Amino acid sequence: MTASVATTMDHLLTPAAAEHHARLCELVGDSWRGDAAAWDRAGRLPAEVLRWCAEQGLLGAPLPAEAGGGGWNMVRTGLLYEALGRVGASLASLVNVHGMAAQTIARWGSEEQHRTVLPDLATGRRIAAIAMTEPGAGSDLAGMTTTLDARDGGLVLNGTKVFITFGGQADVFLVFAYADGGDVACLVNRNTPGLTIEPMGDVLGLRAACLARLEFRGCRVDPAALVGRPGFGLAVLAPHALEHGRHAAAWMAAGMLHEVFAATARHALARHAFGRALIDHGQIQSIVTRMGTDLEAARHLCLAASEALDARDPAAGDRVLAAKYFACRVLADHAEAGVQVLASSGVLESSVTARTYRDAKVLNIIEGTTQVLERMLAPRLAASVGRDA
Ligand SMILES: Cc1cc2nc3c(=O)[nH]c(=O)nc-3n(C[C@H](O)[C@H](O)[C@H](O)COP(=O)(O)OP(=O)(O)OC[C@H]3O[C@@H](n4cnc5c(N)ncnc54)[C@H](O)[C@@H]3O)c2cc1C
């Protein structure tokens, strides 16, 4: 393996996909590289960044062209998340949560929602966020207590959602709740009377993701704002949204790991200790080798997941799970190792290693924790061996 294998992924891509990726890295990198530390300190992305994402068509990239989106396939969309991940996890998360909500509406929304809601999401005129988690229900969403009750010919929403990424900046929320006919998801506008939005304060990672707590107290919801049918919320809509979220998280982790690898390798080459460059010390060689090969493996898994989604392969769901699980896990391991190699300079709050160390922890909690993904993957992996025997 040559160093170029770890620093580029062109050898995995078709020439057209490689060119698309290079263009995205240049576009996002030229505009925002080096700004993530300031965003983290501010606790939000500047409005100008949200506008820029919309103007560049990044918020609607995978949405259908008829709705004003880019119509990108999953390989091209994944490469977008890789490019965004290189610049910052909060930026990538903005595009991700917006995409999770928008793609769920694109797949399961009504004709009216396709006409009235989707175009604004595809063009980024409005930002969407996704509200599943509650104080008493995270991994086990069936434990949620938010209700959508029929009252006076309409629907009324009551409940609390927490840790909502970009909840502080989004215009519309896809909210999961229990209704009379079963679990549902509905669209709730930010300015709905009875909705209170509070910042969630300091967090370990995704510091610029403007996390918020949403309190719904007697919010009136138009029945036309229901997405899909009652009974679809947890069984169909949440898994659909989460699959997109996991695909995005896997690729953004690959982009973040690319940055950690670059910083670690550069430091190992430049820094000398005990008469030689760090890269000439065996223990550092182990770290760099594991990091570079895991980076390469993560990209393979990400690409396999994207290609399976594009091919509508029945195994696509498993491939997405495997890519998310592996890419986020190795990112956390190697972000920790990167801090170790950069040592004192690696712990500076503004360094890519310190920021990724914090963000990587969060990536192993969102879109399915490590343990939840293992619960899903282990029986499937084991059964596949059983079937092949
Ligand atoms: C920065 C950040 C952003 C987020 N953004 C959003 C968002 O935009 N929208 C949203 O709805 N939510 C969001 N979340 C919430 C996130 O999805 C949840 O934190 C996640 O689902 C885990 O839920 P929990 O924190 O309640 O932990 P719990 O579900 O209570 O889990 C606690 C621990 O138990 C483990 N565990 C749980 N079940 C099992 C099991 N069956 N077997 C073994 N171990 C298990 C978990 O892995 C974890 O280690 C965000 C969270 C963070 C930190």
Return the CATH number at 81: 1.10.540.10
Q: Is the CB of 97 under 6 A from ligand 1?
A: yes
Given this model, what pLDDT does residue 4 score?
Answer: 58
CA 385 remoteness from chain centre? 30
Given this model, what pLDDT does residue 51 score?
Answer: 97
Residue 9 has pLDDT above 60, yes or no: yes
The CATH number covering residue 171 comes to 2.40.110.10
Residue 2 has pLDDT above 70, yes or no: no
Do 182 and 260 lie in one domain? The reply is no
Rounded to an integer, what distance in angstroms lies between the CA atom of residue 154 and that of residue 151? 5
Query: 343: phi > 0 → left, psi -120 to 50 → alpha, else beta; which?
Result: left
Residue 386 has pLDDT above 80, yes or no: no
Do 207 and 79 lie in one domain? The reply is no
Average pLDDT along the chain: 96
Which helix H or strand E contains 110, and what residues bound it?
none
Q: Whose CA is nearest to atom 35 of ligand 1?
A: 371
Residues 209-243 pLDDT 10s: 999 999 999 999 999 999 999 999 999 999 999 99
Residues 65-94 pLDDT 10s: 999 999 999 999 999 999 999 999 999 999
Q: Is the CB of 136 under 6 A from ligand 1?
A: no
Q: Is the CB of 133 under 6 A from ligand 1?
A: yes
Q: Is the CB of 204 under 6 A from ligand 1?
A: no
Q: Is the CB of 146 under 6 A from ligand 1?
A: no
Question: Which residue in 363, 356, 357, 365 sits closest to 87, CA to CA?
Answer: 356
Residue 55 has pLDDT above 60, yes or no: yes
**What percentage of the chain has pLDDT greater than the value 70?**
98
Asked if residue 138 is part of any domain, the answer here is yes
Given this model, what pLDDT does residue 389 score?
Answer: 53
Assess contact for 257 and 329: CB atoms under 8 A: no
- Count of structural domains within the chain: 3
Whole-number Å distance, alpha carbon 141 to ligand 1 midpoint, is 9
Mean pLDDT score, 294-298: 98
Do 192 and 267 lie in one domain? The reply is no
Mean pLDDT score, 117-125: 97
Rounded to an integer, what distance in angstroms lies between the CA atom of residue 257 and that of residue 92? 14
Rounded to an integer, what distance in angstroms lies between the CA atom of residue 372 and that of residue 263? 31
Whole-number Å distance, alpha carbon 163 to ligand 1 midpoint, is 10
Do 308 and 367 lie in one domain? The reply is yes
Q: Which of 122, 151, 175 delimits the end of a domain?
A: 122
Q: Say how many CA atoms lie within 13 Å of 378 toward its Cβ.
A: 6
Residue 8 has pLDDT above 90, yes or no: no
Whole-number Å distance, alpha carbon 220 to ligand 1 midpoint, is 28
Given this model, what pLDDT does residue 287 score?
Answer: 98
Q: Whose CA is nearest to atom 7 of ligand 1?
A: 164
Counting atoms of ligand 1 from 1, which one is nearest the CA of 176? 11
The CATH number covering residue 274 comes to 1.20.140.10
Using pLDDT thresholds of 50, 70 and 90, give the confidence band for residue 381.
very high
Asked if residue 288 is part of any domain, the answer here is yes
Q: Whose CA is nearest to atom 50 of ligand 1?
A: 163
Residue 271 has pLDDT above 70, yes or no: yes
Assess contact for 125 and 169: CB atoms under 8 A: no
Residue 388 has pLDDT above 70, yes or no: no
pTM equals 0.97
For helices 316-346 and 370-388, give the axis angle rounded to 10 degrees. Answer: 130
Given this model, what pLDDT does residue 202 score?
Answer: 86
Q: How far is CA 367 from CA 264, 266, 370, 389, in A?
A: 28, 32, 9, 32
Given this model, what pLDDT does residue 7 score?
Answer: 74
**What percentage of the chain has pLDDT greater than the value 90?**
94
Residue 252 has pLDDT above 70, yes or no: yes
Whole-number Å distance, alpha carbon 121 to ligand 1 midpoint, is 26
Q: Whose CA is nearest to atom 48 of ligand 1?
A: 369
Residues 347-379 pLDDT 10s: 998 899 999 999 999 999 999 999 999 999 999
Do 162 and 102 lie in one domain? The reply is no
Residue 16 has pLDDT above 60, yes or no: yes
Q: Whose CA is nearest to atom 44 of ligand 1?
A: 371
Counting atoms of ligand 1 from 1, which one is nearest the CA of 375? 42
DSSP secondary structure letter of residue 204: S
Counting atoms of ligand 1 from 1, which one is nearest the CA of 367? 17
Domain range for 240 is 234-384
Q: Is the CB of 221 under 6 A from ligand 1?
A: no
Residue 269 has pLDDT above 60, yes or no: yes
Residue 201: CB atoms within 10 Å? 8
Q: Is the CB of 372 under 6 A from ligand 1?
A: yes
Counting atoms of ligand 1 from 1, which one is nearest the CA of 204? 1
Q: How far is CA 148 from CA 3, 233, 237, in A?
A: 55, 12, 16
